[in-house]
Every structure is written in C-alpha cells, then in structure tokens.
A = this chain, B = another copy of it.
Amino acid sequence: MINIGVLGTGMVGKAIATKLIQLGYNVMMGSRTATNEKAMAWVAEHGSLAQTGTFADTATFGELIFNCTKGEITLDVFKAIPKESLDGKTIIDLSNALDYSHGMPPVLNAAYCNTYSLGEAIQALLPQANVVKSLNIITADGMVNPQKCGQDLTMFMSGNNAEAKAEVEELLLQFGWQDIIDLGDITTARGTEMMLPVWLRIYGQLKSPYFGFKIAR
C-alpha cells in the first residue's frame, strides 16, 4: 500500500485520513506544526498506520496527496512546501475558495471563479504535479461514505493527467463512489467549484448536509 499525505486537520482532513487508514494505507496528516493537537489526537486514535508532521513533511511522505485545507489558505500552504517534494505526484484537491466578507452564506472568492478556479491556481503553482479536483461538492462524511448522502450519487473529476485521474478514480471507487464522470482538464474545476453556492443554499433549505448530486441520464 502506498503512503498518502493528507494536508489539513479539519473535518475534511479527518474524514479522508480516517477512511484511508481503514482501507489500509499509511497516512500522514499534515498541519502548520508537527505538534498540532487535532493531528496528534487523530494519530493516538488510529495507531500504527497513522502519523503526523508539518505540511512539508506530509508532502515528502505522501506518494499521493489530498489537499483538505480550507480554500482560503490552500495556496499559502502549497507556497510554503518545497516544490520538488510534489514533483510528479498526484494532488487530489478538495478545497473551495469561499469568501465570507459579504456575509452568510459565503460567496466564492472572485479571483477563482467563472474564468479561473482554485484547482487551476494550484496546478499553475505546481506545474510538475498533477492536480485532480474532486469531492469538493459534498459534506466531509459523504466524501468517504457517499451512501450516507443518498443513493447512486455522481462524483466529478477534473485534471490534465489521465494517469492521475485513473489513480483518483480507483480511490473514489474504494470510498464507495460508483458513478464517476471525468469532466476533462483542470479548467473544468470551474464548473464544480461553482456548484458550491447552490450546495450552500440547498443545505440552508434542507437543514442537513446529508444530500448530494446525482446526474440522471
């Protein structure tokens, strides 16, 4: 089993890292410091396959990297990691660049909306890595247990590299996803990032994050 790095210790990072441990992967959960309380508690709970380190440690450790940092800080996190440690690696980007300055619910950060996306910005920052956008349109629990959010949901992938997308597809299948649509290159991440506003409004009306998108056809 490969080593996987998970950047971020929030709800998304915890859900992904825990599922990967259950699947038998060696997982490092990364944060700003190697002694992050949430990461250390997670390691204590999950035993020998679980480790923690800085973002840079995690990038070096992982043969494949999940970006589970909040979209507001994602680019700063990647800028602080030595680029070479990510060369040739697949980065699965789950983040959304939300802007809370207009009140609730948040809007998207206008710099990464419509004619650009956070997925593209990460790819531009790390041209030797292979960024694949996915899983950003569902609550953390549902990412790794889609059936918790509904029957027969659809998940999207966007990325420039076919091999990287094949790796991501394999992981999505292990997470329980059965209907996966490859939307095309990383510019198609604009489309899935722009689903966040309607996701937030549906959440507001249903009063539960346990729902998901199915593309019927």
Contact = CB atoms under 8 A, between A and B. Distances in A.
Interface of A: 102, 107-108, 110, 113-115, 149-153, 156, 181-184, 188, 190-192, 194-195, 197-202, 204-206, 208, 210-217
Given A211-B217, A214-B213, A183 B201 contact: yes
A191 B181 CA distance: 21
Contacts of A110: 114-115
A34 B184 CA distance: 44
B216 A151 contact: yes
Contacts of A215: 150, 202, 211-214
A198 B107 contact: no
A208 B216 CA distance: 12
Contacts of A216: 149-153, 211-214
Contacts of A208: 217
A190 to B, nearest CB: 6
**Which of A102, A114, A182, A205 is the most central at the interface, judged by chain B CB atoms within 10 Å of its CB?**
A114
Contacts of A202: 181, 183, 191, 215
A182 B200 contact: no
27 contacts: A107-B190, A110-B114, A110-B115, A149-B216, A149-B217, A150-B216, A150-B217, A151-B216, A152-B216, A153-B216, A181-B202, A181-B206, A182-B205, A183-B198, A183-B202, A183-B205, A188-B201, A191-B200, A191-B201, A192-B198, A206-B217, A211-B217, A212-B215, A212-B216, A213-B216, A214-B214, A214-B215
A90 B97 CA distance: 35
Given A198-B191, A198-B192, A216-B212, A107 B114 contact: yes
A152 to B, nearest CB: 7
A153 to B, nearest CB: 6
Contacts of A156: 198
